[in-house]
Amino acid sequence: MNLNAYIRQRLQSRKILVMTHAVAGFPSLEANWQMLELMAEAGVDLVELQMPFSEPMADGPTFARANQQALAQGLKLEQYFALMERAAGTFSFPLLMMGYYNTVFRLGHVAFCEQLRLRGGVGFIVPDLPVEEYGDLFDHSARCELSPVMLMAPTNTDARLAQIGRHAKGLVYTVARKGVTGSKTDLAGGNYDFVSRCRQATDQPLGMGFGLRQGKDVRQLQGQVEVAIVGSALLECWEREGREGYRKLLQELVAGCD
């Protein structure tokens, strides 16, 4: 699947898209499946499926705890890929692998890309891998028709944004603020100045994440970016309110697309 084309096509009927997130194996693989079913029911556009890692440097406390518990419960990489394969064969939304470079390194660039494509993934997000260290991972991604989703941050210089933008494919993940995932983000004018800088660096669709929590956050990003990315708020909702609360939050987030 061409991720860029998919996003452009979906935007013909929505003002903005929603990408959600699940940590494989937390609180269980069975719970992950229920989450994915609810995402499909609500009409979510894209999903990040995270392979847990022991030191998730870009993740805040909620996701860090989820990563650690999933690993403590024995989640293996094959179980992760099996979940992705089942989801790709069941749901219409594209799946992006989110994880850390340790997983890619252990498999090797060739095997990682081939396995991801085989299991139905359309791309990957590796937040701890700087653009200059991708090496042949770009070539193998292209060969397997995968989108390496690059991150752009407010602390990047314009030169750095341009360097990242030259390699961006499918979607660019713009980080709404400094720090890690989970904390509330103030979606004020400073973020829009940053988005303008990102537009100068790439013609790929932009997604914004880190701290989006409600439907009004999604609505506020209309006309600024193409994709609103929500993760920690959903996991916290699942733990706090269970399946029905999770369903309501998903419906609220998707309602913010219109």
Provide the annotated active-site residues: 48, 59
Beta partners for residue 174, in sequence order? 152, 208
Could you give the CA distance from residue 212 to residue 192 in angstroms, rounded to a whole number? Answer: 15
Q: Name the residue with tokens 């989703």.
A: 149
Residue 52: name the closest of 97, 107, 90, 113 by CA.
97
Total H helices, total E strands in the chain: 11, 9
Given 3-state DSSP classes, what are the helix, strand and coil percentages for the chain, each rounded to the nearest 5? Answer: 50, 15, 35
One-letter amino acid at 2 equals N
Residue 225: name the closest of 187, 253, 251, 255 by CA.
187
Strands 17-23 and 95-98, sheet pairing: unpaired
CB 257 within 8 A of CB 17: yes
